[in-house]
């Protein structure tokens, strides 16, 4: 930011000269023809330097200096004087002037004097900012205690603090659900509805161990699950050193209180005094639910791997032990190959699922047509074997979306693959897409076996497969639609299935991936 | 062993066609007459009409525990209650076995471990994979008992 200079002089030639020289030197310049106008132009913080003629009609230079100091204390003032007498300069400095420049002056002199003034202004401004910052820091420290309490009170986790004797000294609203009214200063066991906590606190405060303890609150089914972590509150290391010195009756260092459970080695080394315990109570209901979901998923995965492996192992044993004659082997080996392929596809699907959970999406401009054509080409052989004709119909053919190409391709491939697998010979599968506002809608329609209404709500569930006479020979992991559903949801979209048994199925996936126009 | 020696009738209920086929080939080679069903409903109907000597029953079919429902229906029906049932499951997680299939067990029933092989009086429970040879052994033992 260039320096800003205000020139107040009643002589037009001086004003003009100053303006020209200073502008050329890179300053922004404003001029005023007398003291009154100069004071009018002065506003706090606008100018760095003011050049003030001492001798002006009306409001004279001295008066301008005095008033300018009130308006803008940071302003650096330089007086212009035609008669640089000692007295007038001293008076001007008393009135707040920083420097003076005698008339007549050369452009060089003017630049030097103003440059010096500008530097001084800059330094003073920085000094003032530092002073203000320091003042703010002091205020911050003064407020810290209050802030800390505000933070603790705002926490979603319950926080309780006890002293060494297990009396409650601090708690936040989130922990109030466990506490009797007015619990401060009373033993935790007396005021806390969660019985095990008292014992945990006693253990932590007497052993002084740095480790924390966790416990799940065994609660009713459906009730939230809480986990509590209890940690000792330890004195600062310096304070502990002072406390560890001689002095009977002084605070007890942790090392002196080593119980049978053992003091944490870190605490012993540090010799820090245990002041009490801090308890953090966290609602882990959602976490536990996710853990259960994951465990169930793993169990399903194991089942889905074990079944085809059992079949393969069974066929192999029948052959190796000569239970079936060699004339039957080709058929059995073909089944083994099919099941092995199914396993490979299952692993691929699981990798896709895990990729979606862990990888950062790579969004780019994608032409839907390209993605669809790739999928159609890839599934061509499968469609041919099944005797299914694949058609592509697209009202909004040239739609370009912002999406991850891999994910979009997976949606089309999985849907089209289903439309081919669950079709009938000489049937057809039709892929189309259109825009609906910000949504891309991909529709895959088939002339296949259809889906009984009772299965519809569960489609998209991981490993859910329609198990009926008509679907029995059709391979699949039971993950294809759930991958599509997961992708759709991650694009704030959904999966809609309409079907008529014996007639066909139409699946529509909506993805919010069209940038708004 | 000749396949035309009729040693007994076995009904295998499993929703996986290859596992059914493996069991069928193994049991037929061992001289049994084998019938198969791919759903619980179909299996129940066959059990009632055929009165097989042994039923081999998969647990997890359309639902996680469909096999238990089938076993329960078999036990509730006087026509089928005496048919020994061999339960097999490939589900890895501990499946809670309904109380009615437990005999003399103090611990909560789970699909594996101490319950394996002796789930109820005339019922056995195995975790897959049960090899074809092993299945023939199990069925042999039940029928010669």
Closest CA to B17 of A464, A478, A472: A472
Residue indicated by tokens 């330094």: A123
Is any Cβ of chain B less than 8 angstroms from the Cβ of A306?
yes
pLDDT(A272) > 80: no
pLDDT at A222: 61
- Same-domain status, A321 and A367: no
- Same-domain status, A291 and A434: no
Are the Cβ atoms of A311 and B16 closer than 8 angstroms?
yes
- The verdict on residue A102 lying in a domain is yes
- The verdict on residue A98 lying in a domain is yes
- The verdict on residue A119 lying in a domain is yes
DSSP letter for each residue of A424-461: -TT-EEEEEEEEETTEEEEEEEE-S----GGGGGGTTS
- Same-domain status, A387 and A515: yes
Mean pLDDT, residues A143-154: 83
A452: containing domain: 360-517
pLDDT(A243) > 50: no
Cα separation values, B43 from A225, A335, B48, Å: 42, 24, 9
Q: Given pLDDT bands bounded at 50, 70 and 90, which one contains residue A420?
A: very high
Q: Choose between A236 and A436: higher pLDDT.
A: A436
Q: Which domain-ending residue is among A303, A336, A356? A: A356
- What is the distance, to the nearest Å, from the Cα of residue A77 to the centroid of all Cα atoms in its chain? 51
Q: Given pLDDT bands bounded at 50, 70 and 90, which one contains residue A458?
A: confident
Q: Given pLDDT bands bounded at 50, 70 and 90, which one contains residue A233?
A: confident
- Same-domain status, A481 and A421: yes
- Same-domain status, A110 and A229: no
CATH code, domain carrying A319: 1.10.287.130
Q: Is the distance from CB of A493 to CB of A439 less than 8 angstroms?
A: yes
- Same-domain status, A373 and A501: yes
CATH code, domain carrying A271: 3.30.450.20
- Same-domain status, A115 and A171: no
Is any Cβ of chain B less than 8 angstroms from the Cβ of A317?
yes
Question: Which 3 state secondary structure label does DSSP give A126?
Answer: helix
pLDDT at A446: 93
Q: How many angstroms away from the CA of B19 is the closest CA of chain A? A: 5
- Same-domain status, A84 and A197: no
CATH code, domain carrying A98: 3.40.50.2300
Most confident of A294-298, A300-304, A420-424, B1-5: A420-424
Question: Which 3 state secondary structure label does DSSP give A263?
Answer: coil
- The verdict on residue A141 lying in a domain is no
Mean pLDDT, residues A477-485: 84
Mean pLDDT, residues A490-503: 90
Provide the H-helix boundaries in B16-101: 17-29, 40-50, 66-76
- Same-domain status, A321 and A446: no
Q: Choose between A397 and B134: higher pLDDT.
A: B134
- Same-domain status, A391 and A483: yes
pLDDT at A371: 93
- Same-domain status, A372 and A500: yes
- Same-domain status, A335 and A433: no
- The verdict on residue A295 lying in a domain is yes
Most confident of A203-207, A215-219, A295-299, A325-329: A325-329
- The verdict on residue A364 lying in a domain is yes
Q: Given pLDDT bands bounded at 50, 70 and 90, which one contains residue A505?
A: very high
Question: What is the domain count for chain A?
Answer: 4
- The verdict on residue A145 lying in a domain is no
Is any Cβ of chain A less than 8 angstroms from the Cβ of B3?
no
- The verdict on residue A153 lying in a domain is no
Task: Tell me how far apart the alpha carbons of residues A166 and A388 are, in angstroms, rounded to a whole number.
Answer: 75
Q: How many angstroms away from the CA of A385 is the closest CA of chain B? A: 22
Which domains, and CATH codes, for chain B? 9-140 (3.40.50.2300)
Q: Which region among A16-25, A122-131, A374-383, B12-21 has the lowest average model confidence (pLDDT)?
A: A122-131
Task: Tell me how far apart the alpha carbons of residues A42 and A98 are, in angstroms, rounded to a whole number.
Answer: 17
pLDDT at B84: 87
Is any Cβ of chain A less than 8 angstroms from the Cβ of B60?
yes
pLDDT at A431: 95
Q: pLDDT, tens digit, for every residue of A293-352?
A: 888 888 888 888 888 999 999 999 999 999 999 999 999 999 999 999 889 988 988 888
Q: Which domain-ending residue is among A112, A128, A144? A: A128
pLDDT(B109) > 50: no
């Amino acid at each position: 930011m260039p320096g800003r200079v205000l020139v107040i002089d009643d002589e037009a030639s001086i004003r003009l000269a100053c303006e020209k020289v200073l502008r050329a030197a890179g300053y922004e310049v404003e001029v005023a023809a007398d003291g009154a106008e100069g004071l009018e132009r002065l506003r706090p913080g606008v100018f760095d330097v003011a050049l003030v003629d001492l001798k002006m009609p009306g409001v004279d230079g001295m008066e301008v200096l005095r008033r300018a100091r009130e308006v803008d204390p940071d302003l650096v003032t330089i007086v212009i004087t035609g008669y640089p007498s000692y007295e007038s300069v001293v008076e001007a400095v008393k009135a707040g002037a920083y420097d003076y420049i005698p008339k007549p002056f050369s452009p060089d002199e003017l630049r030097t004097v103003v440059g010096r003034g500008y530097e001084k202004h800059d330094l003073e401004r920085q000094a003032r900012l530092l002073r203000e910052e320091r003042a703010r820091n002091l205020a911050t420290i003064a407020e810290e205690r209050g802030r800390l309490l505000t933070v603790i009170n705002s926490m979603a986790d319950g926080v309780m603090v006890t002293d060494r004797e297990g009396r409650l000294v601090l708690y936040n609203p989130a922990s109030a659900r466990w506490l009797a009214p007015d619990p401060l200063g009373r033993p935790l066991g007396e005021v806390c509805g969660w019985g095990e906590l008292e014992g945990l606190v006693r253990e932590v405060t007497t052993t002084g161990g740095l480790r924390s303890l966790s416990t799940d609150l065994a609660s009713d089914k459906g009730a939230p699950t809480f986990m509590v972590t209890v940690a000792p509150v330890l004195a600062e290391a310096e304070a502990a050193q002072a406390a560890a010195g001689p002095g009977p009756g002084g605070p007890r260092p942790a090392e002196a209180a080593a119980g049978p459970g053992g003091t944490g080695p870190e605490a012993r080394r540090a010799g820090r005094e245990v002041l009490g315990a801090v308890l953090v109570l966290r609602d882990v209901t959602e976490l536990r639910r996710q853990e259960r979901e994951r465990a169930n998923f793993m169990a399903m995965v194991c089942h889905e791997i074990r079944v085809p492996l059992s079949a393969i192992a069974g066929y192999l044993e029948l052959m190796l032990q000569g239970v079936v004659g060699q004339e039957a082997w080709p058929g059995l080996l073909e089944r083994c190959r099919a099941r092995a392929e199914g396993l490979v596809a299952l692993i691929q699907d699981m990798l896709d699922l895990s990729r979606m959970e862990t990888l950062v999406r790579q969004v780019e401009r994608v032409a839907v047509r390209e993605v669809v054509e790739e999928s159609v080409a890839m599934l061509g052989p499968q469609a041919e074997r099944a005797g299914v004709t694949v058609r592509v119909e697209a009202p909004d053919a040239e739609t370009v979306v912002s999406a991850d190409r891999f994910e979009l391709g997976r949606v089309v491939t999985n849907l089209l693959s289903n439309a081919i697998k669950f079709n009938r010979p000489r049937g057809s599968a039709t892929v189309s897409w259109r825009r609906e506002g910000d949504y891309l809608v991909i529709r895959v329609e088939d002339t296949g076996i259809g889906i009984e209404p009772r299965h519809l709500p569960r489609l998209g569930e991981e490993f859910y497969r329609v198990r009926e006479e008509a679907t029995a020979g059709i391979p699949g992991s039971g993950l294809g639609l759930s991958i599509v559903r997961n992708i759709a949801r991650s694009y704030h979209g959904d999966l809609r299935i309409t079907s008529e048994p014996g007639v066909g199925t139409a699946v529509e996936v909506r993805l919010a991936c069209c940038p708004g126009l | 062993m000749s396949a035309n020696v009729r040693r007994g009738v076995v009904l295998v209920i499993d929703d996986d066609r290859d596992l059914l086929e493996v069991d069928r080939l193994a049991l037929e080679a061992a001289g049994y007459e084998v019938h198969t069903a791919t759903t619980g409903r179909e299996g129940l109907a066959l059990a009632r009409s055929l009165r097989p000597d042994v039923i081999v029953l998969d647990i997890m079919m359309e639902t996680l525990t469909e096999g238990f429902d089938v076993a329960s229906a078999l036990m509730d029906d006087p026509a089928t209650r005496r048919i020994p049932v061999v339960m097999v499951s490939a589900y890895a997680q501990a499946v809670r076995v309904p109380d009615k299939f437990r005999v003399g067990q103090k611990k909560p029933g789970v699909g594996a471990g101490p319950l394996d092989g002796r789930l109820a009086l005339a019922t056995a429970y195995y975790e897959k994979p049960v090899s074809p040879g092993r299945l023939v052994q199990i069925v042999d033992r039940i029928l010669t008992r």
